[in-house]
Amino acid sequence: MDQATKEKRAEYVTLVQKAQNLIESIKPIKRLVQIIAAFREFGLFDFIRNGLDRGLNQVADDGFYGLDRESDAVQGCFELDNVLRNGLDLDLEELENSIKSVESLQDIER
């Protein structure tokens, strides 16, 4: 095998390894997509958001059970409320198609 062929082979092996690493890294994202789809299907986002709203309104009004409105935990709840309201406008179909495209990289090695 000449030097150019060896270099091309090494480059190919590196690309395959990168593809495999990418495939492994998207597995948690794929699971999140499934969870989000289930939450949407069963209306759980609205259920959680409504409960969160009631609790946060009480915190704002009277310091719900003595919680400090400025505490990290309460601020985290406000952030979650914000995400539930504004940040979940994901196009799940598009995201799933992107995941499938990445997963198809597994066929490179074969």
pLDDT of the residue at 109? 53
pLDDT of the residue at 12? 84
pLDDT tens for each residue of 67-94? 677 777 777 777 777 777 775 666 677 7
> 2 falls in which pLDDT band (50, 70, 90)?
confident
Give pTM, 2 decimals.
Answer: 0.47
Q: How many domains does the chain have?
A: 1
Burial of 64 (C-beta count, 10 Å sphere; 0-12/13-18/19+): middle
pLDDT at 65 over 60: yes
Angle between helices 72-86 and 44-62 (to 10 degrees): 140
pLDDT of the residue at 8? 84
pLDDT tens for each residue of 8-63? 888 888 887 887 787 787 777 778 778 877 877 887 877 777 777 777 777 666 66
pLDDT of the residue at 103? 73
Q: Which domain does 27 fall in, by range?
A: 3-108
pLDDT of the residue at 29? 77
pLDDT at 64 over 70: no
